[in-house]
Amino acid sequence: MSFLAHDGLFWRRLAAAGARHTPRWWMQYSPPFFGVAAALALPSARRAVRRNLAHLRGPAPFWRDTLDTARTFATYAECLTEVLAQGSKNAVAARGEIHGAEHVEKMIARGKGLIVLTMHTAGWESAPPLLARDRSLDVLVVMEEERSEGAQAIHDRARAVAGLKVVHVGSDPLAGLPLIRHLEKKKGAIAMQIDRVPKSGRTLPVQLLGVPAEIPEGPFRLAQLTGAALAPAFSARLAFGRYLVQAYPTVLVARRASHADVLVAAQHVADAMTDFLRRYPTQWFHFGPW
């Protein structure tokens, strides 16, 4: 992996240093500059964002493409900075509003666990804690291992300081056992990202943003196995340290569900993804093909 890749160690170290050690005014207002600089330095990621924007909001003039691409990278830098500032003099207490909370609360009352499905959108790391707030949910965030161990370690330290419990999963077939046990706990919940296909594992075909796509099968089979409800809940950044979480209607996968039933559940989630991404096209941090 390139040292200068968008998710590489260089950019993560730079962001962490700026978030933690610079004056607070600099930490708050400078990230957009560095986000745009990263866009200029990473042409393949920049082109990917342009392609994604075309799917999200249709073709646009060159000036609009350029502006929306810059906004995407700027927002990414702002969110990254706010997370990496945790535990320092510049720590930001995330606050926000939740729309559609009744969907989640109804499933919490079932007492059979909750699988919160998130995407790599602005503030996605804030969505599970905001949902858990005032609901006594014990949320475990499940992520794939990053390509750079060093970058992952920097980010995980900040997440831990913020009280976010994270477990990284790879290709180990037994990796799902702790997740099952966690869902069996009282008010146990896990959060999983649904917008990127894992390197290992199976996928389900869906229509996403009006075109054929694939999403991970794992969360749906986990829901089928445990009886936990699937709760699409996606986030957007509104201002410095302030986020919105949009929760969509939940979906259940019966223990004896057929493959066709699972596909229906997957499409329900894909429809929620499409709705949210079209509302917030410059807040999807997907820097590659999908």
> For residues 237 and 124, is the Cβ–Cβ distance under 8 A?
no
DSSP string, 9-30: HHHHHHHHHHHHHS-HHHHHHS
The token pair that represents 107 in the structure block: 């499933």
For residue 7, what pLDDT is reported?
63
For residue 70, what pLDDT is reported?
96
For residue 235, what pLDDT is reported?
94
Q: What is d(CA 72, CA 94) in angstroms, rounded to the nearest whole number?
A: 20
> For residues 10 and 3, is the Cβ–Cβ distance under 8 A?
yes
Q: What is d(CA 168, CA 288) in angstroms, rounded to the nearest whole number?
A: 21
* Chain segment 163-188, per-residue pLDDT in tens: 778 887 765 544 667 888 888 887 88
* Chain segment 6-24, per-residue pLDDT in tens: 566 777 787 888 889 999 9
Q: Which residues of the chain have pLDDT under 50?
A: 1, 173-174
Cα-based torsion angle of the residue sequence 277, 283, 285, 290 in order, rounded to the nearest 10 degrees: 20
Q: What is d(CA 138, CA 170) in angstroms, rounded to the nearest whole number?
A: 22
Report the predicted TM-score, pTM, of the whole model to 2 decimal places. 0.89
For residue 4, what pLDDT is reported?
55
Q: What is d(CA 31, CA 182) in angstroms, rounded to the nearest whole number?
A: 36
| Element housing 42 (H / E) | none
The dihedral sign for the CA sequence 149, 155, 158, 164: negative
CA within 13 Å, CB half, 176: 12
Q: What is d(CA 95, CA 91) in angstroms, rounded to the nearest whole number?
A: 13
> For residues 284 and 50, is the Cβ–Cβ distance under 8 A?
no
| Element housing 149 (H / E) | helix 149-161
The token pair that represents 215 in the structure block: 């999403």
Q: What is d(CA 55, CA 273) in angstroms, rounded to the nearest whole number?
A: 13
For residue 200, what pLDDT is reported?
65
Place of tokens 């995330």: 94
- Taking residue 124's Cβ as centre, other Cβ atoms within 10 Å add up to 24
Residue 62's contacts (CB-CB under 8 Å, 6 or more residues apart) are none
> For residues 56 and 121, is the Cβ–Cβ distance under 8 A?
no
Q: What is d(CA 251, CA 125) in angstroms, rounded to the nearest whole number?
A: 22
